[in-house]
Amino acid sequence: MSMTVVLSQALLGLNVGVFYAMLSLGLAVIFGLLNIINFAHGAMYMLGAFIALIGYSFIERWFGISMEIGFWPSLILAPLLVGALGILIERTMLQRLYKLDHIYGLLLTFGITLILQGLFANYFNVSGTPYPGQPESLSGVVNLGFMYFPTYRLFAIVFSLVVCFATWYFIEHTKLGSRLRAGVENPELTQAFGLNVPLMITLTFGFGCGLAGLAGVLAAPIYSVSPLMGADLIIVVFAVVVIGGMGSIMGAILSGLALGLVEGLTKVIYPPAASTVIFFLMVLVLLFRPAGLFGKEK
Amino acid sequence: MPNEELLRIENLHAWYGESHILHGMELTVREGEVITLLGRNGSGRTTTLKAILGLVGRRTGSIRLHGTEVIDMPTHRIAHVGRLGYCPEERGIFASLNVDENLELPPVLAKGGMSVDEIYRMFPNLKERRASQGSKLSGGEQQMLAIARILRTGATLLLLDEITEGLAPVILKSLGKVIHDLREQGFTIVLVEQNFRFAAPLADRHYVIEHGRVVECIEAAELEAKQEQLNRHLSV
């Protein structure tokens, strides 16, 4: 097989990988800080995509207002709305469960997922609605030398990488980030110093959800927008987080990217295994390094 | 004219879950004083500090910091109201933060705190290790860092829990000098101390605690006269 085929599959794999990375990053941030396994993360991603779709195609149809919210405003608006919903969920529901076992948070967020999915499945086609709002400036293809690659996909890769590494930098190398890490390690003492840890937790949950919403908007022009788009992806993303190591920020980003690549390349080598190779790796990691590739053994 | 009361505790009860640890604590600390809480393990000295900060399960009674009642206040506001600096028994150095980050973690509570440069002049060995992770420090270095980081915040009332525990004699000596210097600079200090020989020359007043209440209050001047009572309480 030619090098071009391998490279182009690798790039397509990377394209999937950045979505894994963005979603698993949000999950890792939330798990690392709150010890909550946010099953609703996929629903937040789906919601981000739907906010973009509704803003573009449905405002006039539903409300009779002649208005169209384009891709760029959605890229800002959707994460803010999804983040706000996250904050609402944390403040009104999750906060009551912190003293209980992890499983309660998981059950609650799983329930929220089913409700949101059901709600959207009631109004939208389960098999997907295309998002027509891809900006003109990102249409067409770019000649990369070895292949022609869709401009929008290239944009999605670069944009996601910037967001992922900015998040990592913020958490690992800024003062506010060090406060977050301190709040994770020893919340009592961090509060005794006069830092408002509950507020930090709420905002972090909102931020993690916003990140999922952002990924949803980015995905809308590539994949069709469907009530189940998050459910399909979230299982893979959980596997990515397990492989990277629960709670490890860099681990989530790198393993997201790497597993997207692995999946893409498997499509070249042995296509039938492409959708299961990640789970095979997850089993291996769990057997031989249960804390994950980047996680610390406890 | 007597100095302002920075801390007044009255009829303080505190619980961890079902267990009732403090049974009517009473104590008062005025500005510029150094006091100690003495007592056997499990007598409630550490719990008293934690109760001041709202780190116990439940607390009732009255805790006034600078005259403000804080008994119902959430923990993260108490440090600001009381301009409190807290050094916990287990030192509480954050393993995931380096020395600089540990130092700069506690937020500034009031003007007049030391600058990072001043702190590194006071603790020169910390400066050499400023990029090291908290987990890589020796016990003595961790203890110095735990004290150093609350001096940056402008805290005027320091709650120091068992700062001498597990330290080598040579480090004890320099720690004694640090506390002495802080006292000279006008800091108000509550010391929970096991090492009476360390605490005796530093403190204005000693509270002996048993079963979660004060059983004896000894001024520094009465120390010699009451030595025997004290020994009995501490059973040394």
For chain B, what percent of residues have pLDDT higher than 70? 99
- The H-or-E segment that residue A143 falls in is strand A141-143
Q: Is the Cβ pair B94, A188 closer than 8 Å?
A: no
Taking CB atoms and an 8 Å cutoff, what residues of chain A touch B96? 181-182, 184-185
CB of A43 closer than 8 Å to CB of A237: no
Q: Is the Cβ pair A189, B101 closer than 8 Å?
A: no
Of the candidates A144, A23, A129, A136, the one whose C-alpha atom is nearest the C-alpha of residue A82 is A23
A197–chain B Cβ distance below 8 A for any pair: yes
Chain A nearest CA to B226, separation (Å): 35
B154–chain A Cβ distance below 8 A for any pair: no
pTM of the model: 0.89
What is the rounded distance in angstroms from the CA atom of residue A136 to the CA atom of residue A139? 5
B146–chain A Cβ distance below 8 A for any pair: no
Which of B55, B79, B97 is nearest residue A181 as measured by Cβ atoms?
B97
CB of B165 closer than 8 Å to CB of B140: no
Q: Is the Cβ pair A194, B109 closer than 8 Å?
A: yes
Taking CB atoms and an 8 Å cutoff, what residues of chain A touch B53? 192
B47–chain A Cβ distance below 8 A for any pair: no
**What domains are defined for chain B?**
1-83+188-236 (3.40.50.300)
Q: Is the Cβ pair B77, A182 closer than 8 Å?
A: no
Q: Is the Cβ pair B105, A194 closer than 8 Å?
A: no
Q: What's the full length of chain A, in residues?
A: 298
Q: Which segments of chain B are extended strands (E)?
A: 5-16, 19-30, 34-38, 58-65, 68-69, 84-87, 157-161, 188-192, 205-210, 213-219
A298–chain B Cβ distance below 8 A for any pair: no
Chain B nearest CA to A161, separation (Å): 25
Q: Is the Cβ pair A185, B96 closer than 8 Å?
A: yes
Which of B53, B94, B95 is nearest residue A192 as measured by Cβ atoms?
B53
CB of A227 closer than 8 Å to CB of A46: yes
Q: What is the mean pLDDT of each run of 10 residues along chain A (298 residues)?
A: 83 94 93 86 97 93 88 97 98 91 92 96 92 94 89 96 96 93 92 95 95 97 94 91 87 94 92 93 94 79
Q: Which residues contact B97 (CB under 8 A, 6 or more apart)?
A: A178, A181, A182, A185, B105, B133, B134
A125–chain B Cβ distance below 8 A for any pair: no
Closest A-chain CA to B57: A188
Q: Is residue A30 exposed (0-12), middle (13-18) or buried (19+ Cβ within 10 Å)?
A: buried
Where would I find the H helices in A54-174?
Answer: 59-63, 71-92, 102-123, 151-173
Which of A178, A184, A197 is nearest residue B105 as measured by Cβ atoms?
A178
Taking CB atoms and an 8 Å cutoff, what residues of chain A touch B101? 175, 178
Q: At B81, list the tokens.
A: 């109201």
Report the sign of the C-alpha dihedral through residues A80, A86, A87, A89, in that order.
positive
**What domains are defined for chain A?**
8-288 (1.10.3470)
Which of B55, B84, B104 is nearest residue A188 as measured by Cβ atoms?
B55
Report the sign of the C-alpha dihedral through residues B225, B229, B232, B233, in that order.
negative
Closest A-chain CA to B98: A178
The reported pLDDT for the residue numbered A167 is: 95
What is the rounded distance in angstroms from the CA atom of residue A50 to the CA atom of residue A56? 10
Chain A nearest CA to B177, separation (Å): 24
* HSE toward the beta carbon, residue A259, CA cutoff 13 A: 31
The reported pLDDT for the residue numbered A66 is: 84
Q: Is the Cβ pair B94, A186 closer than 8 Å?
A: yes
B88–chain A Cβ distance below 8 A for any pair: yes
Mean pLDDT for B205-226 is 92
The reported pLDDT for the residue numbered B166 is: 86
What is the rounded distance in angstroms from the CA atom of residue B101 to the CA atom of residue B164? 24
B76–chain A Cβ distance below 8 A for any pair: yes
From residue A65, give the alpha-carbon distance in Å to each of A22, A27, A55, A117, A252: 34, 37, 11, 26, 42
Q: Which residue has the tokens 């959707």?
A: A78
Q: What are phi and psi of A185, to 5 degrees?
A: -70, -45
Of the candidates A124, A195, A70, A18, the one whose C-alpha atom is nearest the C-alpha of residue B76 is A195
CB of B8 closer than 8 Å to CB of B198: no
Chain A nearest CA to B223, separation (Å): 33
Q: Is the Cβ pair B153, A182 closer than 8 Å?
A: no
pLDDT band at B2 (very low <50, low <70, confident <90, very high): low
Q: Which residue has the tokens 């290790």?
A: B129
DSSP string, B38-93: E--TTSSHHHHHHHHTT-SSEEEEEEEETTEE-TTS-HHHHHHHHTEEEE-TT---
SS3 content of chain A, % helix, strand, coil (to 5): 75, 5, 25
The reported pLDDT for the residue numbered A261 is: 95
Angle between helices A71-92 and A197-219 (to 10 degrees): 140
The reported pLDDT for the residue numbered A99 is: 83
Q: Is the Cβ pair A197, B76 closer than 8 Å?
A: yes
Q: Is the Cβ pair B79, A192 closer than 8 Å?
A: yes
ipTM: 0.92
The reported pLDDT for the residue numbered A23 is: 96
- The H-or-E segment that residue A64 falls in is none
The reported pLDDT for the residue numbered A33 is: 77
Residues B15-68 have pLDDT tens digits of: 998 999 999 999 999 999 999 999 988 899 999 999 999 999 999 999 999 999
Q: How many CB pairs under 8 A join A and B?
A: 63
Q: Is the Cβ pair B105, A185 closer than 8 Å?
A: no
Residues B113-168 have pLDDT tens digits of: 999 999 999 888 899 999 999 989 998 899 999 999 999 999 999 999 999 988 88
What is the rounded distance in angstroms from the CA atom of residue A66 to the CA atom of residue A136? 21
